[in-house]
Structure 1
Amino acid sequence: MEKIVKVSHLQKKFGKFEALRDVTFSVNYGEVVGFIGPNGAGKSTTLRTLLGVIKRDRGDVEIFGKDVWKESTEIHKRISYVPGDVVLWGNLSGGEIIDLFMKLHGCGDKQKRDALIQRFELDPKKKAKGYSKGNRQKVGLIAALAVESDLYIFDEPTSGLDPLMEKVFQEEVEQLKKSGKTILLSSHILSEVERLADRVVIIRQGEIVESGTLHELRHLTRSTITIETERDVAKVATFNGVFDFIQVHNQATFSVDNQYLNDILIQLTQLNVKKIESIPPTLEDLFIRHYEN
């Protein structure tokens, strides 16, 4: 597949602090990649390096086959970017700022802009200095989504938005995804990444520690099983691969390492199972377990 973004052995220091130790990942054409990690892991530093705002110390970083530092002007013509804290000109209205961003980009759609203003419930006539953080984010999102780009980079884009507006953003990203656009999404809302992303890249202390589709990564964590049996369910706690066992009469809930799941299901048939429910691991389970380890 054609790679839109290529990051290879990226390193960056701020004084003695090593923000990025060895970051390597890629984003393919038409793909949505979720870029996740805790605060201070290096997400924003990586994205700002991609934008050519920060100069790397070592490594290769390319977008559209161009060097992000040397050819940033050409790259920016084809991308949309929304940071986690949008800073605006206080004396301009939200509508004026959106129009300015669209004019600078050069590929704006006024009908799309108007539809987005309605969807995000933004008052475009209000001065930016009177906007809340959530409304500042809306201005950035509308400006980014109203232009035609080949790559969309979102760094905590829904920060400050209420759940309804988060849903609007997710629906807009799904539309971009259907139209074949390429998206790099950094978000603290793991359910958002799980819903939208084709692949996930996890960064920890300046290094990529996991990368792959959710299906590929689910082996790293556990499914949750809830059962009700006719016979005493207590013996399930002794099965290999069972963790966090909780029993109430002949009902039990426990976690299972997926490699043991088939063997455990065979053993459960001996207990005359009346009811069973299996919930696959979520991205949040994967994330928390990985960081606890």
Structure 2
Amino acid sequence: MDILQVKNLTKKFGSFKALHDVNFNVKKGEIFGFIGPNGAGKSTTIRVLLGVLKATEGEVKLFEKDAWKDAVEIHKRIAYVPGDVNLWPNLTGGEIIDLFIKLRGGNSANKREELVKRFDLDPSKKSRTYSKGNRQKVALIAALSSEADFYILDEPTSGLDPLMERIFQECVLELKAQGKSVLLSSHILSEVEKLCDRVGIIREGQIIETGSLKELRHLTRTQILLETKEPVPELNKQKGVHDISSTDQGITFQVDTEEMDSVMRYITQFGIVKLESAPPALEDLFMRHYEGTKKSGSGAGGEG
């Protein structure tokens, strides 16, 4: 079952087309990574999902309801964390968390206390004294304390230190274990790689790839470090081999994943002494899509 369906979503601001025919879906119990650099259209898409912006063309449905017309009903079942949190300066962090919980009509005192401890937040301080990271913690605790079915997280770890990022990742995996769905918008690729079942890559307002990490890995290359008894002739002429260089430890090169078998068969003839491989990273896929394609003026008003 799809919690979210985005079909042919286009959003224009005057003559500028911020989103163009965006299509993706999020299934029940799935963590979906929505990735792209700042300015690619991530935040504009999320504002349409939240019913803050109206789509120029296309269809956006959450829980089979229209994101714009049924926004009030939809908001009863979703939780949202923005990447740049603004809080009421004269309220304490605890008061703000309690206000959000109350607005949702929930009673999550135990969950709230547990999350305050896990994220190491002092809820008694006025929010005007908080750093960016602590403001982010307030928004995360408020969202994670709610009994939502779908969590929309837009650059949620912005300003958090590495330890708090790890706590956040644990919390997201716990949501998944409870059968909840998560849309995680991020430009931190390691975070997406650790958490997400599927990813969608957006560039200049268009989705350019979607699929599971396993499905997308065929587009990436594996890094190889090789030492052999005899020199390997014509390695540069083997199909799928790239970026050969010599080091003190041997030769390094990259291999297209789909050509790995034939390349391995070729080099074994020369007596392998040492062979190390590093798995293809999401970052490699991401950078290959962006190489030489960055244009000025992309995205919506300079935002993700």
Cα distance per residue 1:131-174 (max 9 Å; x no partner):
11111100000000011110000000000111111111011101
Q: Give the corresponding residue for 1:10.
A: 9
Q: Give the corresponding residue for 1:63.
A: 62
Q: Give the corresponding residue for 2:271.
A: 272
Q: Give the corresponding residue for 2:251.
A: 252
Deviation of the 1:47 alpha carbon: 0.5
Quote the Cα distance in structure 2 between the aligned partners of 1:179 and 1:247: 49
Q: Give the corresponding residue for 2:20.
A: 21
Deviation of the 1:272 alpha carbon: 0.4
> Retained in 1: the 8 A contact 2:218–2:258?
yes
Deviation of the 1:233 alpha carbon: 3.3
Q: Give the corresponding residue for 1:124.
A: 123
Cα distance per residue 1:98-143 (max 9 Å; x no partner):
0000011123421111111111111101001111111110000000
| 2:95 matches 1:93 | no
Kindly tell me the number of residue pairs found equivalent between the two proteins. Answer: 292
TM-score (norm 2): 0.94
Cα distance per residue 1:209-234 (max 9 Å; x no partner):
00000000011121111111111135
> Retained in 2: the 8 A contact 1:229–1:250?
no
Q: Give the corresponding residue for 1:282.
A: 281
Deviates more, 1:101-110 or 1:234-243: 234-243
Q: Aligned ranges for residues 204-243 of structure 1 at < 5 Å?
A: 204-233=203-232, 235-243=234-242
Report percent identity of matched pairs. 60
Quote the Cα distance in structure 2 between the aligned partners of 1:28 and 1:180: 10
Cα distance per residue 1:42-86 (max 9 Å; x no partner):
000000100001111110000000001111111000011000011
Unaligned runs of at least 5 residues, structure 1? none
Q: Give the corresponding residue for 1:166.
A: 165
> Retained in 2: the 8 A contact 1:108–1:148?
no
Q: Give the corresponding residue for 1:150.
A: 149
Cα pair distance change 1:250/1:152, threshold 3 Å: closer
Deviation of the 1:259 alpha carbon: 1.9
Q: Which amino acid aligns with 1:141?
A: L
Cα pair distance change 1:261/1:55, threshold 3 Å: same
Quote the Cα distance in structure 1 between the aligned partners of 2:122 and 2:152: 25
| 2:48 matches 1:45 | no
> Retained in 2: the 8 A contact 1:231–1:250?
no
> Retained in 2: the 8 A contact 1:233–1:247?
no
Quote the Cα distance in structure 2 between the aligned partners of 1:108 and 1:20: 38
> Retained in 2: the 8 A contact 1:229–1:275?
yes
Higher RCO (C-alpha under 8 Å, 6+ residues apart): 2
SS in 1 for 2:234: helix
Q: Give the corresponding residue for 1:203.
A: 202
Moved over 4 A (4+): none
> Retained in 2: the 8 A contact 1:233–1:250?
no
| Cα root mean square deviation, aligned | 1.1
Q: Give the corresponding residue for 1:76.
A: 75
Deviation of the 1:237 alpha carbon: 2.7
Cα pair distance change 1:162/1:234, threshold 3 Å: farther
> Retained in 2: the 8 A contact 1:32–1:198?
yes
> Retained in 2: the 8 A contact 1:230–1:250?
no
SS in 2 for 1:47: helix
Quote the Cα distance in structure 2 between the aligned partners of 1:15 and 1:137: 33
SS in 2 for 1:26: strand
Q: Which amino acid aligns with 1:25?
A: F
Q: Which amino acid aligns with 1:233?
A: V
Cα distance per residue 1:168-191 (max 9 Å; x no partner):
101110111111110000012100
Quote the Cα distance in structure 2 between the aligned partners of 1:252 and 1:235: 13
SS in 2 for 1:38: coil
Quote the Cα distance in structure 2 between the aligned partners of 1:233 and 1:86: 56
Q: Aligned ranges for residues 184-203 of structure 1 at < 5 Å?
A: 184-203=183-202
TM-score (norm 1): 0.97
> Retained in 2: the 8 A contact 1:33–1:183?
yes
> Retained in 1: the 8 A contact 2:241–2:254?
yes
| 2:182 matches 1:183 | yes
